[in-house]
Structure 1
Amino acid sequence: MIVAQLVAMDERRGIGKQGGLPWRLSTDMKRFRELTMGHHIVVGRKTFESIGKPLAGRQMIIVTRDRDYKVAGCFTVHSIAEALELARARGETELFICGGAEVYRETLDLTERIYLTAVHADSHADTFFPEFNRDEWLATASEPHAADEKNEYPFTFVLLVKKRAG
């Protein structure tokens, strides 16, 4: 099973602001849907609550410390290891890690691919993607997009693949 992170971040690694996304990027939301359709998605509780509901066509795995937290139509687990085990047991081929900051941090070493939306702006975010060594990653695809009426900022879709040791 491939472990992939799916993240949009600004020039300062900003990913969130006041519990939501700090931008409006319709093309990025469409790509999110296309990439994740039919797959398991791992999110932290706060990220799930910012989304507000289970996403159609995807199986959401919510990671939370709260043992009583339950959401109809979603799996609730209490560790990243438990989320990975569940997805693997259900036959997942590519597991998407979709935030928030703590979940990204805890899974970065396990991640083989990062589907990055590089937002070309400073969104004045208050939540950030963890620091990571870009030298350990190879950009295998890049697709730039201009700002327009549906996309607040210019951005580039980048596929980062972890370089193999040796």
Structure 2
Amino acid sequence: MTDIVVIVAVAKNNAIGKDNDIPWHIREDFEHFKEKTSGFPCIMGDKTYESLPDNSKPLPNRENIVLTFDKEYKPEGTTVFHDFNEAIEYVKGKNIEKAFIIGGATIYRLGMRVADVFELTSIDHDYDADTFFPEVNFDEWELINREDKEGMDVKNKINVKFSFLTYRRKKNG
């Protein structure tokens, strides 16, 4: 059975973006994202896809699944869906271990309803942002792995503490 995995880096104030970009650049987090998602489908909204650096579009070694309302939108090298549930059914129909939901905010909100696993990079710093991750009811999730780290946010030239946290949705009953 295919696990649906939400993967996200979130600041202390729930920030995830500003001006369609990530407000920080922490090398270890980018490496973590690449290591986790490589080889697996990644579901994202069209704005998230457009925000990727040109040299990373489409994300290499992953099927890039882009959700959009624009019926004419079809970036080269991507699979396009116009309905979130159809994209989820598509990846669940593949014989694969997991598929990732990588943003943005609207896609995350939908994704957290269906996710089996939640890969959270929790950054111990507040950032100026215009896009935020939805509130999470952690009673629904069991922490199964935690790695505490410290590294440089090269965009803001500050040292930050962060944690890689893996949660699995608790079984009902």
TM range (shorter): over 0.9
Instruction: Give the TM-score normalised by the residue count of structure 1.
Output: 0.95
> 1:14 matched to which residue of 2?
15
Distance 1:28 1:152 in 2: 13
Instruction: Give the TM-score normalised by the residue count of structure 2.
Output: 0.91
> 2:30 matched to which residue of 1?
29
Q: How does 1:2-151 map to 2 (within 5 A)?
A: 2-52=3-53, 53-148=57-152
SS at match of 1:141: strand
TM superposition shift of 1:146: 1.2
Distance 2:20 2:6 in 1: 19
- Does structure 1 residue 162 correspond to structure 2 residue 166? no
Larger deviation, residues 85-94 vs 154-163:
85-94
Q: Percent identity at matched positions?
A: 34
Letter in 2 for 1:147: G
Unaligned runs of 5+ in 1: none
Instruction: Count how many residue pairs are aligned between Structure 1 and Structure 2.
Output: 166
Superposition RMSD on alpha carbons, in Å?
1.4
Letter in 1 for 2:49: F
Q: Hey, which bits of structure 1, 4+ residues long, moved more than 4 A?
A: 149-152
Distance 1:152 1:44, change over 3 A: farther
Distance 1:36 1:152 in 2: 25
Per-residue CA distance 1:34-87 (angstroms, 9 max, x = gap): 111110000000000001410110000000000110011100100111111222
